[in-house]
Amino acid sequence: MATILIHGGAGTIPESDRAAYQAGLRGARDAGFALLADGADALSAALVAVSLMEDNAEAFNAGTGGSPNRDGVVECDAAAVSGWDGSAGAVGAVTRAKNPVLLADRVRRESPHVMLVGAGADMFVADPIDNTLLLTPRTQAAYEAWRQEKGEPTNSATVGAVVCDREGRLAAATSTGGMLGKWPGRVGDAPLVGAGTYADRFVAVSCTGKGEAFIRAVTAKGLAERYRAGDDLQELIAKALAEVLHFNGSGGLICVTSEGRIGFGFNSRNMAYAWKTDSGGERPEAAEVGLEPGVYTL
């Protein structure tokens, strides 16, 4: 049963941005699902969905539109994980990639390593771009406002996808522009396999929110272990979010199982999400900004 579930980040999403979020979610979801319908594998669909959100300058914080660090530089993190064979690739604090998630997948496919960061990651970019091209008027204005206030780094929205293809293969991909005003070199949970992104033969997970809390809770791997132990999907998502909250974090996560069942939850004010499945169920598709924190399964 082909299933794709994506997120566009968790936090407080202003009413003025929600139309752009809805349009971006639908476009990314439908493009990923179209590949699944044509028989593509799960990771290919996840990469297409996430890369489209990276290219969306109107809504999301990943790739183009990523959040500048305290020096005004956009540093991006991303990961791509195949649950079927266990292969994974990740990049951290990369500054010259238009699509960090595709660079992460290149690390997975072409390097002997799982993760490259900083200058090493930038050297692996096939077509490097100037970092200023990742800035948009929206993110530049946010940076100038943050610099005037001289506040703490603020959370920004991540994007991610979890997919089950028609062969039951699973994959997860996550990408983020990080925190606005973060220290240079800071890496969040998104590229850390087992913290913000994970997939095996049973479940795939992508997280979004305060990265430090998800790292400390090892959220994605913890959820997967509980699922393999037989825990109820709704209960284990609630447990994962409770652990994040224990580390003073807020955010959300999405997951899909090898049977094509989906689950998601968030303890932030909002989370943007969308799904589509060929199961013919009562709600075969959705694309929305969640207004009520909670845990949901389908």
Which strands, in side-by-side order, build the sheet including 270-277?
115-117, 88-94, 76-82, 170-176, 159-164, 3-11, 270-277, 285-290
The token duo for 9 is: 């980040």
Mode of pairing for the β-strands spanning 76-82 and 251-257: unpaired
Angle, in degrees to the nearest 10, between helices 18-37 and 42-54: 150
Is residue 239 within 8 A of residue 262, CB to CB? The reply is no
Residue 176: active-site member: no
**Residue 272 β-bridge partners:** 289
Cα–Cα distance, 274 to 53 (Å, whole number): 12
- Residue 261 gets which letter from DSSP? -
Q: Report the distance separating Cα 206 and Cα 192, nearest Å.
A: 11
CA angle (116 as vertex; 113, 122 as ends), nearest 5:
135
Of residues 3, 64, 95, 158, which has the active-site annotation? Answer: 158
CB neighbour class for 261 (10 Å; exposed up to 12, middle 13-18, buried from 19): middle
Q: Are strands 285-290 and 270-277 parallel, antiparallel or unpaired?
A: antiparallel
Active-site residue set: 158
